[in-house]
Chains A and B, each alone.
Chain A
């Protein structure tokens, strides 16, 4: 589904990603862990198409497409979803209007008719229940005045609405209390299918108590320095990152 080969990216000349390699197949859940500043969020942003980063080297293939030939909106319509670490507030744009526009634009991209208002509302009601999202939130402007936890839950709600093939969740767990975390993880697990995949970027092993990854990768200084099964996460929790850092020559 997704194949990243030797990906290098920089921001204003400063190299952040220094040769990432990663293969993600349908049905898989990958966790990417690593200390602050290792390039986790940059990787997520580059995959979603943020233009503040410049890709200098490497190749990313997604569902047979050269990813870098697609605009952010085309990537989204082709099934890539980025759960933002810091969801953006958009005063004046209602959640309903936002989701309706997004969903129907994606349908248009696929050559489908827009959903009728009643079908849309039905779809929305179902997904809201899935992530236990307060009804009042969808009547408000996008993320405006939402608490930290509400914003993250809203990301999962949007993911549920848009039913992506590849979900990239950028630290969706940070700042969540245990109840919110459980709801978020529950949402992710329910949306899991043999046909889609997730990349879960996290700081904390605790999320992985709820979302069981097939693979765990450690990103450090712009490179994946270790990959393994879910047991790698437990090891990291126990020992921290230092023992891995020592293993590489700086």
Chain B
């Protein structure tokens, strides 16, 4: 079912929505989840929305995005379609396992949990809560900190469905898993999917997430994903954000890494009206490696805000952050990267860089690298640049006969390349290369993968 939000203050509206639909919300959820839900709604009531006084949200007013009268999806909407009829993936030939979420709900309702080789499980989180209570209870809401963040509490209070991935001890999933988040409806909608990824000791997996809008109406997403990456486990997580400019997306990723684990996370933002990515990493054992990379290409009135927090809680860990962006027209953005090195985290190596190119005088980026170091034997660096395209390089190319427009493209592409080459899955890297090139050429329509051509207007 869906519910219209009609009221005055948006926080009150959401609290009312929760109370009025309590039975629907709680229905189908086990008690242990509903207990967390109760706590979450209390916390949301207390914390509310982060406003601009909150240092971490200084450059993005998220509250106003919620004040929209969008409908919410408290149960799965029954839209029948053959995915291949309306959607040809932007990342084909990956030889992947493809999983679909529609407006935050696991799409294949007949097949809610699927077994992968080696006993791994992929499927609906809602179903997993029921079938694997022990496993879900051990990890659910353990890494996503709702005490500090009202939006995480809000997501947790309304938690229904999303992706569940479980990779047991020692299992290696060779094929990448592709998750396609599709937003599609005739009416404007507010989605808040919840995702849980559990990788046990010595396991390995790689996941590609593509966010798409398939109808022209406005959408808002407030999603949370939790990742438990066990001892010596390896996990690659790439996201391609390619929603239309009427969409607003707030996502919260929480990575919990155990000893000797390795995580590489790429966030490629190609299109979207307002994008706020929160990425929190806890390095909870020695010998961890974390690579958090991002690329954002924005134009027109788009707004992108990446907030990264890397918590070096244990010694001998390495973290690398590289975020690069090209902002055109009057696009705005922010980058906030915080590295915390705790007292005992000796021999930490933590690096961070944020480089931006502004193509016009109206484009704007605020970049704030922050280091907080309490250990005394560490190697840390951070740096941020905001610049224009290199005039010398432009002239060099033109002097070889390359027209100005093409030279500009080559330079932007070269700038972006540093992030793309860090993508591990070769086929995905090639595909993203193409997508980025198309995006820079302005040929990547937000709907080029969609056969419905609904938003060509």
- Chain A interface (Cβ within 8 Å of chain B)? 48-51, 71-73, 75-77, 81-82, 84, 87-93, 97-98, 101-103, 105-106, 109, 141-142, 158, 162
B390: chain A residues within 8 A (beta carbon)? 88, 90
Cβ-based interface call for B32 (8 A):
no
B410 at the interface (CB under 8 A from A): yes
A98 touching B418, Cβ below 8 Å:
no
Give Cα A180 to B375, complex, Å. Answer: 51
List, in ascending order, chain B residues with CB within 8 A of A82's CB. Answer: 399
- The residue on B at minimum CB distance from A88 is B396
Instruction: Give min CB distance, A51 to chain B, whole Å.
Output: 8
- Check A71–B398 contact: CB distance below 8 A: yes
Cβ-based interface call for B393 (8 A):
yes
- Contact indicator B403/A105 (Cβ below 8 Å): yes
The one of A49, A92, A142 that contacts B418, using a Cβ cutoff of 8 Å: A92
Of the A-B pairs whose beta carbons lie under 8 Å apart in the complex, a sample of 14, sorted by A's number, is A50-B395, A72-B399, A73-B407, A75-B399, A76-B399, A76-B400, A90-B397, A92-B414, A92-B417, A93-B410, A98-B410, A102-B397, A102-B400, A105-B401
| Complex CA–CA separation, A92 to B295 (angstroms) | 15
B396 in contact with A84 (CB, 8 Å): yes
- Chain B residue numbers with a CB within 8 Å of A102 are 397, 400-402
Point out the residue from A90, A101, A106 that lies within 8 Å of B396, measured CB to CB. A90
A62 to chain B, nearest CB (A): 14
Contact A109 B410 (CB under 8 A): no
Cβ–Cβ contact A72 & B393, under 8 A? no
Asked whether B417 lies within 8 Å of A76 as measured between CB atoms, the reply is no
Complex Cα distance A210/B374, Å? 63
Q: Taking the nearest CB of chain B, how far is it from the CB of A115, in angstroms? A: 14
Contact call B398/A49, Cβ cutoff below 8 A:
yes
Question: Among A90, A101, A158, A162, which residue has its beta carbon within 8 angstroms of that of B393?
Answer: A90
Number of A-B pairs, beta carbon distance below 8 Å: 79
CB distance from B401 to the nearest CB of A (A): 4
Closest chain-A Cβ to B270's Cβ sits at a distance in Å of 18
* Contact in complex: A93, B411 (CB < 8 Å): yes
B420's nearest neighbour on chain A, judged by CB, is A92
Q: Is B309 an interface residue (CB 8 A)?
A: no
Measured between beta carbons, the chain A residues less than 8 angstroms from B411 are: 90, 93
Distance in angstroms between the alpha carbons of A77 and B406 in the assembled complex = 14
Which A-chain residue is minimally distant from B413 (CB atoms)? A92
Q: Is B401 a contact of A106 with CB atoms below 8 Å?
A: yes
Which residue from chain A places its CB closest to the CB of B395 in the assembled complex? A50
Chain A nearest CB, measured from B315 CB (Å): 34
Total interface residues on B, CB under 8 Å, equals: 23
Decide: A105 and B406 in contact? CB cutoff 8 A.
Answer: yes
B300 interface residue, CB < 8 Å from A?
Answer: no
List chain A residues, Cβ under 8 A from B415: 92
Q: How far is the CA of A101 from the CA of B399 in the complex (A)?
A: 12
Complex interface: chain A residues within 8 A of B392 (CB): 88
Chain B residues within 8 Å of A48, by CB: 399
Let me know if A49 and B414 touch, CB within 8 A.
no
B379 at interface by CB-CB < 8 Å: no
Chain A residues whose CB sits within 8 angstroms of the CB of B402 once the complex forms: 73, 98, 101-102, 105
Q: Is the CB of B401 within 8 A of A77?
A: yes
User: Min CB distance, A155 to chain B, in Å?
Assistant: 10
A51, closest chain B residue (CB): B395
Check A90/B414 contact, CB under 8 A, given A72-B395, A84-B396.
yes
Most A CB within 10 A of own CB, among B392, B413, B414, B416: B414
A109 to B390, CA, bound (A): 25
User: How near does chain B come to A154, taking the closest CB pair, in angstroms?
Assistant: 11
Asked whether A162 and B401 contact (CB < 8 A) given A72-B395, A84-B396, A90-B393, the answer is yes
Contacts of B404 in A (CB 8 A): 71, 73
- A92 surroundings in chain B (CB, below 8 A): 413-418
For the A-B complex with A89-B393, A90-B411, A158-B400 known, give 20 more contacts whose Cβ atoms are closer than 8 Å.
A50-B395, A51-B395, A71-B398, A72-B398, A73-B403, A75-B399, A76-B400, A81-B399, A87-B396, A88-B392, A88-B395, A88-B396, A92-B415, A92-B418, A98-B410, A102-B397, A102-B401, A103-B401, A105-B403, A162-B401
Q: A239 to B70, alpha carbons, bound, how many Å?
A: 86
- Say how far A153's CB is from chain B's closest CB, in angstroms: 16
* CB closest chain-B residue, reference A77: B401
Inter-chain CA distance A50–B393, complex, in Å, is 12
Question: Complex Cα distance A51/B401, Å?
Answer: 16
Contact indicator B406/A101 (Cβ below 8 Å)? yes
Residue of B nearest to A91 (CB): B414
- Closest A residue to B400 by beta carbon equals A102
Complex: A102 Cα to B403 Cα, angstroms: 9
Question: What separation, in Å, do the CA atoms of A48 and B400 have in the docked complex?
Answer: 10
Residue of A nearest to B391 (CB): A52
Q: Which residues of B contact A103 (CB under 8 A)?
A: 401
Q: How far does the alpha carbon of A87 sit from the alpha carbon of B395 in the complex, in Å?
A: 11
Please provide the chain B residues from 362 to 405 with a CB less than 8 Å away from any CB of chain A in the complex.
390, 392-393, 395-404
CA distance A92 to B395 in the complex (A): 16
Check A76/B401 contact, CB under 8 A, given A93-B410, A93-B414, A101-B406.
yes
Query: Which chain A residues lie closer than 8 Å to B397 at the CB level?
Result: 90, 98, 101-102
CB contacts (< 8 Å) of B414 on chain A: these are 90-93, 141
For B398, list chain A residues within 8 Å (CB). Answer: 49, 71-73, 76
Among A75, A101, A142, max chain B CB count under 10 A is at A101
Cα–Cα, bound, A91→B415 (Å): 8
Rounded to whole Å, the gap between the CB of A125 and the closest CB of chain B is 19
Cα distance A54–B76 when bound, in Å? Answer: 67
The complex places the Cα of A104 from the Cα of B397 at a distance, in Å, of 13
Q: Which residues of A contact B410 (CB under 8 A)?
A: 90, 93, 97-98, 101
Residues in B with CB closer than 8 Å to A158 are: 400
Point out the residues of chain B lying under 8 angstroms from A91, CB to CB: 414, 418
Alpha-carbon distance between A91 and B404 when the two chains are bound, in angstroms: 18
Closest 5 CB pairs of A and B: A92-B414, A76-B401, A102-B400, A72-B398, A92-B417
Known: A72-B395, A88-B392, A93-B410. A98 touches B417 (CB 8 A): no
Give the nearest-CB partner of A75 in chain B. Answer: B399
- Alpha-carbon separation in the docked complex, A82 to B401 (Å): 11
